[in-house]
Amino acid sequence: MNKIPIKQSPENAQTGWNLVFVCWILAAVATLGSLFFSEVMGLKPCVLCWYQRIFMYPLVVILLVGMFPLDKGVVRYALPLAVIGWLFAVYHYLLYSGYIPESLQPCDQDASCAKIDLELFGFITIPMLSILSYTAIIALLVMFRNRTNQKQLKLK
Amino acid sequence: MKKQIQVPIAAALLLVAFAIAVVIYNEQQANKLSETTSKNASLLVRDYSPTMGNEDAKVTIVEFFDPACETCKAFYPFVKRLMASNPGRIKLVLRYAPFHQGSDYVVKLLEAARLQNKFWETLEATYESQPSWAAHHNPQPERLWMLLGGVGLDLKKAKEDMQSPTIVQRIQQDLADAQQLAVTKTPGFFVNGKPLIQFGYEPLQQLVDTEVRNHY
C-alpha cells in the first residue's frame, strides 16, 4: 500500500488540457482555412490536398471529444491521423518545390498538385501551411503524451 | 479556468473571423470584377453576336452561355420572362462560352442554324434535350441531330455550314472576350456593362430592374 498521497496537481491537468485545446484550434484553423481556399477563393483542391484534408478534418472532432472530459488516450487516436497527414503534406511540399518530378504525381487534369496557386508574401504556400499545422499538432500531442506518461510512472 | 467556456468562445471567434474574411474577400473580388468589366466594356458585344428583343432597347443583357450548362438552361426562361415583363425595353445578347467538353460542337450547330434563321428555336430545342446529349461523364453532342426534329432545320445544310472557319473564329473570339471579362463560369451575366456579382435569380432581377428604372 502506498501511503504517500499522490499529488493530484490540477495545474498539470490544466496544462495537459490546454495542449489538446491548442491542437484542436490548429486543426480547426486548418480546416476553415482550407475551406476558405476552395469554397470562397475557388481554388480547386488537387488530389494530394484532398488526402491532407481527409486526415485533418476528423482531428477537429476527435480532439474535441477527447477534451470533454480530458481523455489521456486521445493521442492514440489523433496521432496516427496527424502523422499520415504530415507525410502527405511533406510529399506535396517536395512536389511543389520541385524535388520530386511532376510526372510522379497522382493528379487529374483539373487541378495540378505541382502548380502553385497561391503564395502569400511571396513564399508561404498552401502545402507549407499544411506541414506547419501538422508538425505543430504532432509536437503538441507528443508533449501531451510524455506528460501523461510521466504521471503514470509516478503512480507506479 | 473554465474549459467549458473556452471551447465555445474559441469556436465562435474562429467562425466570426472566417465570416469576416469571406465578406472582405468578396468585397475585394466584386471591386476587381467591376474594374475588369469597365476596362473591357468594349468586348461585351460583338457585331456578330445573336441578339433577341428590341434593337433600340436601352437595357442590354449580355449572357455568356454554354449550351451544355444546366444553369444556363434554367436561366433561359427566367431571362425571357424578364424581357416579357418589360416589353421593348430589354434586349438580350448571347455570347458563347463553351466550357464543357463537346459544347463547341453544339455552338457550331447553333451558328449553322442561325444561317437558316432558326437560332432561337434550335437553342430552345437544345436546352430541352440537354439531359439526353450533355451528360457530364459522357457528352454526346452528335445525338442532338436526332433530337432537333421539331425545329424544321435543313439538317444536311446545317452539317455543311458547321464546318465554316468563320464560326470557329467567332467561338475563339467569344472565349477570348470571356477570359478578358473574367467570365469563368456560365451563365455569365452583364446588364448595361455591369457584371452580375452575386449570382442568382433575384440579384439578376434587381440589376435589370435598376437599369430599367434608370433608363425609362
- Same domain membership, residue B11 and residue B100: no
Tell the burial category of B69 from Cβ atoms under 10 Å away from its Cβ (0-12, 13-18, 19+): buried
Best CA proximity match to A92, nearest among A27, A29, A34: A34
% of chain B surpassing 90 pLDDT? 65
- Residue B64 and residue B95 in contact, taking contact as beta carbons nearer than 8 Å: yes
| Angle subtended by helix axes B165-180 and B103-115, to nearest 10 | 120
pLDDT band at A155 (very low <50, low <70, confident <90, very high): low
Q: pLDDT digits over A130-139, tens only?
A: 999 999 999 9
- Same domain membership, residue B204 and residue B145: yes
Chain B hits for A64, CB-CB cut-off 8 Å, are: 7
DSSP letters of A99-117? SS-GGGS---SSS-SSS--
The per-residue pLDDT for A148 is 84
pLDDT band at A6 (very low <50, low <70, confident <90, very high): very low
The per-residue pLDDT for A111 is 62
Quick check: B89 pLDDT over 70? yes
- Per the structure block, which three cell numbers stand in for B124? 430552345
- Residue B213 and residue B46 in contact, taking contact as beta carbons nearer than 8 Å: no
- Same domain membership, residue B87 and residue B19: no
- Same domain membership, residue B120 and residue B169: yes
Chain A hits for B22, CB-CB cut-off 8 Å, are: 36, 40
Q: Which residue has the higher pLDDT, A96 or B161?
A: B161
Q: Does A36 touch chain B (CB under 8 A)?
A: yes
% of chain B surpassing 70 pLDDT? 100
Put simply, the answer to whether B21 touches A17 (Cβ < 8 Å) is: no
Residue pointed to by grid coordinates 450533355: B134
- Same domain membership, residue B135 and residue B35: no
Q: Which residue has the higher pLDDT, B120 or B101?
A: B120
The per-residue pLDDT for B142 is 85
Number of domains present in the structure of chain B? 2
Q: Which domains are assigned to chain A?
A: 10-155 (1.20.1550)
Best CA proximity match to A66, nearest among A147, A7, A150, A144: A144
Q: What is the CATH number of the domain that holds B175?
A: 3.40.30.10
Q: Which residue has the higher pLDDT, A78 or A109?
A: A78
Chain B residue closest in CA terms to A42: B184
Q: Does A41 touch chain B (CB under 8 A)?
A: yes
- Same domain membership, residue B32 and residue B52: no
Chain A residue closest in CA terms to B23: A40
Q: How far apart are CA A85 and CA A131, in angstroms?
A: 9
- Same domain membership, residue B126 and residue B26: no
% of chain A surpassing 90 pLDDT? 45
The per-residue pLDDT for B135 is 81
- Same domain membership, residue B171 and residue B123: yes
Average pLDDT over residues A5-32: 81
- Per the structure block, which three cell numbers stand in for B98? 463553351
Quick check: A10 pLDDT over 50? yes
- Per the structure block, which three cell numbers stand in for A39? 469554397
How big is chain B by its Cα radius of gyration, in Å? Answer: 21
The per-residue pLDDT for A124 is 78
The per-residue pLDDT for B161 is 92
The per-residue pLDDT for A1 is 46
Put simply, the answer to whether B14 touches A68 (Cβ < 8 Å) is: no
Q: Mean pLDDT for chain B?
A: 91
Quick check: B58 pLDDT over 50? yes
Q: pLDDT digits over B16-47, tens only?
A: 999 999 999 999 988 988 888 888 888 999 99
Q: Does A14 touch chain B (CB under 8 A)?
A: yes
- Per the structure block, which three cell numbers stand in for A8? 493530484
Chain A nearest C-alpha distance from B103 (Å): 18
ipTM above 0.85, yes or no: no
pLDDT band at B151 (very low <50, low <70, confident <90, very high): confident
Going from the C-alpha of A107 to that of each of A62, A104, B92, B202, the distances in angstroms are: 29, 9, 40, 38
- Residue B54 gets the label, from left (phi > 0), alpha (psi -120 to 50) or beta, of beta
- Same domain membership, residue B139 and residue B35: no
Average pLDDT over residues B93-107: 92
Quick check: A105 pLDDT over 80? no
Q: Which domain range does residue B8 map to? A: 3-39
- Same domain membership, residue B33 and residue B49: no
Put simply, the answer to whether A68 touches B3 (Cβ < 8 Å) is: yes
Quick check: A122 pLDDT over 70? no
- Same domain membership, residue B64 and residue B29: no
Q: pLDDT digits over B169-212, tens only?
A: 999 999 999 999 989 888 999 999 999 988 899 999 999 999 99
- Same domain membership, residue B134 and residue B195: yes
